[in-house]
Amino acid sequence: MSDIPAADGVCGPRAFFGRFAVKSFGLPTWGATEPGHAAMSAWSPSGWRVLLGAGWPSAWWGERGGVDFYLETQARELRPVYQQVLRGQWAADARNETKTAGKRLGQGM
């Protein structure tokens, strides 16, 4: 860890090393980018938290936004309702219905 600042490691190397450290303890992590910045989040017993970065509204990974990711994690806590939403998506996919804005829940991770 002490080599990261010495090697000119600002946010990118810190976020990479942070995700590595969190994963080494068996905890889920979600790396993210922000405008001109790297970020990271991790799961804790109190829920998902941004540990390095500005927060969910500023974060994204690929085409998935941080708020979208966070809201899906919250929706999964309502398991029976979330399962109904997924079943509705599966039925829409089976009928080749046109998708609405954004990606389907459960995709992009």
Q: Is residue 28 part of a domain?
A: yes
Q: How far apart are CA 90 and CA 93, in angstroms?
A: 5
The per-residue pLDDT string of the chain (109 residues; one tens digit each, 9 = 90 and over) reads 565 555 566 777 788 888 888 999 999 998 888 888 888 889 888 888 888 888 888 888 888 888 888 888 888 888 898 899 889 889 999 999 887 655 545 554 3
So what's the pLDDT on residue 94? 95
**What does the pLDDT read at residue 5?**
55
pLDDT at 59: 86
In a domain, 40, yes or no: yes
In a domain, 92, yes or no: no
Domain that holds residue 64: 3-79
Asked if 45 contacts 57 with a C-beta cutoff of 8 angstroms, the reply is no
Number of domains into which the chain is organized: 1
Considering the domain boundaries, does residue 34 fall inside one?
Answer: yes
In sequence order, what are the beta bridge partners of 65? 60
